[in-house]
Homo-oligomer: A and B are copies of this chain.
């Protein structure tokens, strides 16, 4: 198990126990893959990575586990417009410097995590959330902010 993941691992293991879920090989492997990358992996990519370590695992388990992790708030699920879901582990949004949003190239599907301007953003989003909660009597759980456009490379090719 990767060293850098200890914190997340322990956190997740704790949360698993807490909710009465079993910590299986597959689940550990999936968590491990997600902990090690800053990318936005698709279910299939996760499946392939997991396979390298634990070759008997199946696709349905990957999907089931991801759904569980999303429900537990351990993982976030995104759509960037290429028809498949993408997954990213939660690294403690809002409370440290890992909070980020996405910049998506509509041509090559490249996704950049950016953390610039995040402080102003968080401030505004928090205000907006508060206002919206009140006005529409909504319990807001999360937000998604994505910018779409053409990346450096694709911009030039046009």
Residue ranges of A at the interface with B (Cβ–Cβ < 8 Å): 77, 79, 81, 103, 105-106, 112, 114, 116-117, 120-121, 124, 127-129, 131-133, 135-152, 155
Residue of B nearest to A134 (CB): B116
Residues of B within 8 A of A121 (CB): 124, 128
Residue of B nearest to A151 (CB): B138
B144:A149 contact, CB within 8 angstroms: no
A-B contact pairs, 8 of them (CB 8 A): A77-B81, A103-B132, A124-B124, A138-B149, A138-B151, A139-B150, A139-B155, A141-B150
Give, as a whole number of angstroms, the nearest-CB distance from A111 to chain B: 11
Residue of B nearest to A130 (CB): B117
**Alpha-carbon gap, A142 to B149, bound state (A):** 7
Q: A117-B131, A147-B132 are in contact. Are A138 and B124 (CB under 8 A)?
A: no
Q: A117-B128, A121-B124, A144-B146 are in contact. Are A138 and B106 (CB under 8 A)?
A: no
B124:A150 contact, CB within 8 angstroms: no
**Alpha-carbon gap, A137 to B151, bound state (A):** 7
A152:B124 contact, CB within 8 angstroms: no
B144:A131 contact, CB within 8 angstroms: no
Residues of B within 8 A of A129 (CB): 147
From B77, B114, B132, A116 is in contact (CB under 8 Å) with: B132
A139:B146 contact, CB within 8 angstroms: no
**Alpha-carbon gap, A121 to B132, bound state (A):** 13
